[in-house]
Structure 1
Amino acid sequence: MKINTRYHGEVEINQEDILSFAKGIPGFQEEREFCLLPLSEEGVYYVMQSLNTSELAFIVTNPFNFFKEYDFTLEESVIEELHLESEKDVRVYTILTVQDPFIKTTANLQAPVITNLNNRKAKQVVLHNEQYGTKQPIFQNDEVKG
Structure 2
Amino acid sequence: MNIETKYQGTINIHTENILTFSQGIPAFEDEKQFILLPFDEGTPFFVLQSIKSVNVAFIMMNPFEVVPNYEVKLPDATIEQLEIEKQEDVATFVVLTVKDPFEETTANLQGPIIINANKKKGKQLLLSDTDYQTKHQIFKQAAVTAKEGK
TM bracket (short chain): over 0.9
Gaps of 5+ in 2: 144-150
Equivalent residue number for residue 70 of structure 2? 70
Letter in 2 for 1:79: I
Structure 1 unaligned segments of length 5 or more: list them.
Answer: none
Q: How is 1:58-97 mapped onto 2 (pairs within 5 angstroms)?
A: 58-97=58-97
Match of 1:12 in 2: 12
With 85-94 and 133-142 compared, the bigger mean Cα shift is at 133-142
Q: Please tell me whether the aligned partners of residues 60 and 93 of structure 1 are also in contact (alpha carbons under 8 angstroms).
A: yes
TM-score normalised over the length of structure 2: 0.91
Q: Which amino acid aligns with 2:94?
A: T
Q: How does 1:47-66 map to 2 (within 5 A)?
A: 47-66=47-66
- Any idea what SS the aligned residue of 1:103 has? helix
1:45 aligned residue: 45
How far residue 129 of structure 1 moved from its aligned partner, in angstroms, is 2.9
Aligned residue in 1 for 2:146: none
Cα distance in 1 for residues equivalent to 2:72 and 2:141? 24
TM-score (norm 1): 0.94
Q: Deviations over 1:26-57 (max 9, x none)?
A: 00000000111111212510111111101111
Higher helix share: 2
3-state secondary structure, aligned to 1:95: strand
SS of the residue aligned with 1:96? strand
Q: How many residues align?
A: 143
Output the amino acid matched with 1:96. Answer: L
Do 1:110 and 1:129's aligned partners in 2 also have CA atoms closer than 8 Å?
Answer: no
CA contact (8 A) 1:103 1:142 kept: no
Match of 2:148 in 1: none
Q: CA deviation at 1:16?
A: 2.0
Aligned mates of 2:117, 2:130 — CA distance in 1: 28
Structure 1 letter corresponding to 2:84? L
Separation in structure 2 between the aligned mates of residue 69 and residue 37 of structure 1, nearest angstrom? 25
User: SS where residue 53 of structure 2 aligns?
Assistant: coil
Higher mean Cα deviation, 72-81 or 36-45?
36-45
Choose 20-29 or 39-48, whichever is displaced more: 39-48
* Identity across the alignment (%): 43
